[in-house]
Amino acid sequence: MRSMTRQQRWQQFMDWPLTAAALIFLIAYSWEVIGDLDGPRAVVAESIIWATWAVFVLDYIVNLALATRRWHWFTRHIFDLLVVVLPMLRPLRMLRLVTILAVLQRSTGGAFRGRVVVYAAGASLLLVYVAALAALDAERDHGSIQTLGQGLWWAFVTITTVGYGDVYPVTPTGQLVAVGVMVAGIALIGVVTATLASWIVEKVSVQQEVEEAITRAHVETLTEEIRKLRELVSSRL
């Protein structure tokens, strides 16, 4: 373990516990929202959710304590603070699960563009599920989104920026979730387009690379020419 700071060691140590907490949160939250729990079962689900929350709070506090440049770290992790503190943003903790994709990739390898596509697709699907849950939770009692199926349908229609308008959130919480999904949709269009653009630019620039290879060939011819000259001068003198 080469010269890691204490904070880096902590982050490495917390990698799996945080992912596990996010997964447990995902299951407990899904159970609570889809099952529309009531009474003792709701207490169990809420307890599990609070327990996973404790893991995230602990991680945030320890990170802040270990950071060598505390204020710098704080200003760069406002988003983490909001996710930990605001109950409304708690579904975003599940996005931690995107790190599982990193592990899957590590074992299979893969080029940069391929990895970007896998991350974008994985994060989009996870976000669609998380947003469907969060919207269902917020909107159920207002008649707009009443089943998980409706939530998923709404999330897909929103993230692709189609927006039929047959289903849409009416509560402030639901609308905040929607804004997040819309922004993610813009980013998704961006990632898809950018990856395709990079690929097409590369294919088209093969001709350009051929010309650069010619330049390199010229330089090598030149080097060869000089080597011969040197041998000539050495032998004649």
For residue 95, what are its two tokens?
Answer: 């996005």
Based on the shown chain and the rule CB under 8 A, indicate whether residue 114 belongs to the binding site for a copy of itself. no
| Region binding a copy of itself by CB under 8 A among candidate stretches 29-37, 83-91, 112-120, 134-142 | 112-120
CA distance 193 to 211: 28
| Region binding a copy of itself by CB under 8 A among candidate stretches 23-31, 51-59, 76-84, 205-213 | 205-213
CA distance 156 to 159: 5
Asked if residue 187 lies in contact with residue 124, where contact means CB atoms within 8 angstroms, the answer is no
Compute the CA torsion angle 27, 28, 30, 34 (nearest 10 deg): 140
Tell me the residue length of the chain.
237
> What is the three-class DSSP state of 49?
helix
| Region binding a copy of itself by CB under 8 A among candidate stretches 27-35, 51-59, 63-71, 219-227 | 219-227
Based on the shown chain and the rule CB under 8 A, indicate whether residue 156 belongs to the binding site for a copy of itself. yes
CB of 124 to a copy of itself, least distance (A): 10
Binding site for a copy of itself (CB under 8 A): 112-113, 116, 149, 153, 156-158, 160-166, 168, 172, 175, 178-179, 182-183, 185-204, 208-209, 211-212, 214-216, 218-223, 225-230, 232-234, 236-237
